[in-house]
Amino acid sequence: MNFAKLTGYLDRLPDEGVPGLEMIVWIDHREVYRHTAGEARGGETYWLYSATKVLTMTVLMRLIEQGVLRLTDRVADYLPDYADLTVQEGEAIRPARTVMTLEHLMAMQGGLDYDQDTPEIRRVLKETGGLADTVRIARCFAHKPLHFDPGLGFRYSLCHDAAGACAAAAAGKPLCRLARELVLDPLGIRDLTFHPTQAQLSRLAPQYIQEENGTVRPTENVRAGLAGLPNYDSGGGGLMGDADSYILLADALANGGVGRNGARILTRASIDDMRRNRQAGPSMADFKKVRHKRGYGYGLGVRTLIDPASSKSPLGEFGWDGAAGAWVMMDPANRIAAFYTQHVLNMNRAYYEFHPAIRDLIYEGLQG
């Protein structure tokens, strides 16, 4: 192995506006590469935003294995407000023609959007003094018309927050507790959390934002929107954590569901189901509009490589990323797990330039 080119690339990113970054690569439960650059020193915590989705989907797949949930379950069985969904069609609003299922939520085919400030949400937060829980708030999402009939499109949205609420309703426990009991504690992960302690917050890396003119400046380092509420577990974006914790989750998913400590969190069959492309026809056309996912389809909360000609990674490599630039990759064929993190919002280059380059340089380094 020779990761000199990867190190050189990472060391150039601070000059491209990334103030600090951390990168870890494991193969078969063993660390083979680690690097920090810029102001990062290792051990910092980060808001992980949509990298949360990988954990949430892992929790749901575990509940499916246990028989608590099924992919074919109607969302309305857990969130009653979803029984009478409507769809916005031009200027008209009509009843939905299909029934929303758990699989639709997990595959981002529910037709929801990312609006976290609807009249219904505001009403519930006012009534509860901001203390409404995940299930109660997720029920509010159903009161806004969908963008398409469930199952007939792809739209990145609050679907995974609603899926996490289904899990909480079905199991009778909040998502944060389910994640702790089913995934995090078995793997020995301490510092991935929906509700950070003061000690974890004290290690929080400074957060930045990139302006339209390309300038990168510091920004307020707090969670915005629903994720910042005390009783809300955002299955789509609520995690804080550090690289040493996240790589343990990635390593387990890259090794058939078994962690470094020997604990099993999922079967290989569940992981294969999770990374199977669910998009076709209109939904695949929608997904292809996401320019930084060339060569990928989308499974249950994860990108999945369906065109190996587009990457140096193999067919079925999977993972996701987050709004501040975090990126995770799992390769079950070679038992490779990789995690990269930075803390810059609105830096679109991270998704269509940095992440693919990092991925390919990992494989070049493995062959060196």
Output the pLDDT for position 98.
Answer: 98
Closest CA to 359 of 318, 302, 307: 318
Domains and CATH numbers, the chain: 4-66+174-367 (3.40.710.10), 75-171 (no CATH)
pLDDT in tens, 259-301: 999 999 999 999 999 999 999 999 999 999 886 799 999 999 9
Q: Is 208 exposed, middle or buried (0-12, 13-18, 19+ CB in 10 A)?
A: buried
Alpha-carbon 310 to chain mean position: 22
What is the mean pLDDT of the segment spanning 18-22?
A: 98
Residue type, position 238, single letter: G
Closest CA to 359 of 304, 317, 307, 316: 317
Residue 175: pLDDT band with limits 50, 70, 90 = very high
Q: Is the pLDDT of residue 222 over 90?
A: no
Q: Is the pLDDT of residue 154 over 90?
A: yes
Instruction: Count CA atoms within 13 Å of residue 228 on its CB side.
Output: 6
What's the CA angle centered on 57, arms 56 and 61, to 5 degrees?
Answer: 120
Residue 172: pLDDT band with limits 50, 70, 90 = very high
Output the pLDDT for position 67.
Answer: 98
Q: Tokens representing 349?
A: 């280059």
Q: Tokens representing 361?
A: 């340089």
Report yes or no: 311 and 319 within 8 Å, Cβ to Cβ: no
Output the pLDDT for position 292.
Answer: 78
pTM of this prediction exceeds 0.85: yes
Output the pLDDT for position 290.
Answer: 81
- Segment holding 11, helix H or strand E: helix 4-12
Location of structure tokens 């249950």: 300
